[in-house]
């Protein structure tokens, strides 16, 4: 396994920054998207070549889920049960999987969520004036329903299955790993008229059994797993071992929280409720071999805080990987 990133683009300045901080693997989010055909293969190849010139492997690309809805909505039609439009969107996803394969990119990141991420005001502030992404269900319990008609768990699973049955066979044929990110955060059934099913480990245990394939797996976000747990410190290492032992982790988001299910803040990796060394050791024990990335970091008013924050987190992850290397140097 190795430190990676899903932030920063393929400019010379950004690639120099990554290499300077020991990051030689990345997921690329910034790719021109066309509603007609998906991605331009030449652009993918060029970006991968730019990365390679700096010794960086562009080993994953992210499907632009928020741009897929042909009517302009934030949620794709296939997750709304509108299959006439949804089939067109799914075909775009299949095209992008094929395009990634043709460009020599072995993995794709995506998510299957029925509504947007949920957050509340960032309060209290964090150490050194940091701003933490925050969720407090009690403060958001009176939000309006997201949909007039309830979206049941059964309906959600029908829509997820519909997508997977059409996309995973294409990914399998193309030998492209599909890494699905959780819906953030875990929510109690019926919140805003939705039964969210992919907010935590239980849903993903069912998810990986749909359309079984070595190319069908998860983007295991340790923060999301913590946010869906009553006891994150005890539960998350077990979750890592469950999915890792089945070789279903294709990308790992390495972040920590203060709190637990329904009330938490995303914090610096060293100050949360989880022992991140224990989590890294669990990844090592299951033979995880892909990227470990800081998906995002606390904010601050300092104009240079973004690069400062990621520099810290890259170093933290690198040190954790080194700490679990065994005597013969393998991880």
pLDDT tens digits for range 137-186: 999 999 999 999 999 999 999 999 999 999 999 999 999 999 999 999 99
Q: Which residues have CB under 8 Å from 166's CB, separation 6+?
A: 90, 94
Residue of 221, 209, 242 lying closest to 113 (CA atoms): 221
Q: Say if 285 falls within a structural domain.
A: yes
Question: Residue 221: its pLDDT value, please?
Answer: 98
pLDDT, one tens digit per residue, over 194-218 is 999 999 999 999 999 999 999 999 9
At CA 219, angle to CA 217 and CA 224, rounded to 5? 130
Which structural domain range is residue 200 located in?
2-323
CA 233 – CA 169 distance, rounded (Å): 36
Q: Give the distance from CA 42 to its chain's centroid.
A: 25
Q: Say if 7 falls within a structural domain.
A: yes
pLDDT, one tens digit per residue, over 213-271 is 999 999 999 999 999 999 999 999 999 999 999 999 999 999 999 999 999 999 999 99
CA 28 – CA 37 distance, rounded (Å): 18
Residue with tokens 């730019």: 50
Question: Residue 331: its pLDDT value, please?
Answer: 56
pLDDT, one tens digit per residue, over 293-320 is 999 899 999 999 999 999 999 999 999 9
DSSP 67: G
Q: What CATH code is carried by the domain that includes residue 216?
A: 3.20.20.150
Q: Which residues have CB under 8 Å from 202's CB, separation 6+?
A: none
When divided into structural domains, the chain yields a total of 1
* pLDDT at 327 exceeding the cut of 70: no
Number of helices and strands in the chain (H, E): 10, 11
Question: Residue 125: its pLDDT value, please?
Answer: 93
* pLDDT at 330 exceeding the cut of 70: no
Q: Say if 121 falls within a structural domain.
A: yes
| Positive or negative: CA dihedral 136, 233, 218, 16 | positive
The model carries a pTM of 0.96
Q: Say if 12 falls within a structural domain.
A: yes
Write out the two tokens for 292: 């470990």
Q: Say if 130 falls within a structural domain.
A: yes
* pLDDT at 328 exceeding the cut of 70: no
Question: Coil, strand or helix: which one is 308?
Answer: helix
Q: Say if 330 falls within a structural domain.
A: no
Distances (CA, A) of 276 to 109, 168, 279: 23, 32, 5
CA 269 – CA 256 distance, rounded (Å): 5
Phi/psi at 171 (5° precision): -60, -40
CA 281 – CA 271 distance, rounded (Å): 18
Q: Say if 328 falls within a structural domain.
A: no
> In which order are the strands placed within the sheet that holds 256-260?
134-136, 263-267, 256-260
Q: Say if 329 falls within a structural domain.
A: no
Question: Residue 127: its pLDDT value, please?
Answer: 95
What is the overall mean pLDDT for the chain? 96
* pLDDT at 63 exceeding the cut of 90: yes
CA 310 – CA 324 distance, rounded (Å): 21
Task: Give me the percent of the chain exceeding a pLDDT of 70.
Answer: 98
Where are the strands (E) in the chain, listed by range? 2-3, 25-28, 57-62, 107-111, 134-136, 177-181, 216-221, 249-253, 256-260, 263-267, 291-293
Write out the two tokens for 212: 């079984």
pLDDT, one tens digit per residue, over 119-134 is 999 999 999 999 999 9
Question: Residue 282: its pLDDT value, please?
Answer: 97
């Amino acid at each position: 396994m190795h430190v990676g990133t899903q932030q920063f683009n393929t400019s010379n300045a950004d690639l120099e920054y990554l290499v300077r901080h020991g990051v030689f693997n990345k997921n690329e989010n910034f790719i021109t998207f066309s509603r007609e055909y998906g991605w331009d293969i030449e652009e993918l190849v060029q970006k991968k070549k730019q990365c390679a010139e700096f010794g960086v492997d562009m080993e994953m690309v992210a499907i632009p889920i928020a741009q897929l809805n042909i009517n302009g909505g934030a949620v794709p039609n296939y997750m709304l049960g509108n299959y006439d439009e949804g089939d067109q969107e799914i075909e775009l996803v299949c095209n992008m999987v094929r395009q990634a394969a043709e460009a020599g990119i072995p993995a794709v990141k995506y998510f299957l969520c029925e509504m947007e991420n949920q957050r509340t005001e960032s309060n209290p502030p964090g150490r050194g004036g940091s701003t933490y992404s925050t969720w407090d269900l009690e403060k958001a319990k009176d939000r309006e329903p997201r949909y007039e008609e309830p979206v049941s768990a059964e309906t959600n699973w029908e829509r997820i299955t519909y997508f997977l049955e059409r996309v995973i066979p294409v990914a399998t044929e193309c030998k492209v790993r599909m890494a699905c990110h959780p819906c953030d955060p875990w929510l109690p059934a019926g919140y805003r008229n939705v039964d969210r099913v992919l907010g935590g480990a239980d849903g993903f245990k069912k998810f990986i059994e749909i359309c079984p394939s070595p190319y069908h797996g998860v983007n295991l976000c340790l923060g999301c797993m913590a946010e869906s747990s009553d006891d994150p410190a005890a539960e998350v290492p077990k979750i890592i071992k469950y999915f890792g032992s089945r070789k279903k982790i294709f990308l790992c988001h390495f972040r920590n929280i203060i709190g637990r299910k329904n009330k938490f803040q995303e914090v610096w990796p060293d100050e949360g409720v989880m022992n991140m060394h224990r989590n890294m050791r669990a990844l090592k024990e299951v033979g995880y071999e892909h990227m470990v990335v800081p998906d995002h970091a606390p904010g601050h008013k300092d104009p240079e805080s973004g690069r400062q924050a990621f520099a810290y987190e890259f170093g933290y992850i690198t040190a954790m990987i080194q700490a679990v290397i065994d005597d013969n140097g393998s991880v």
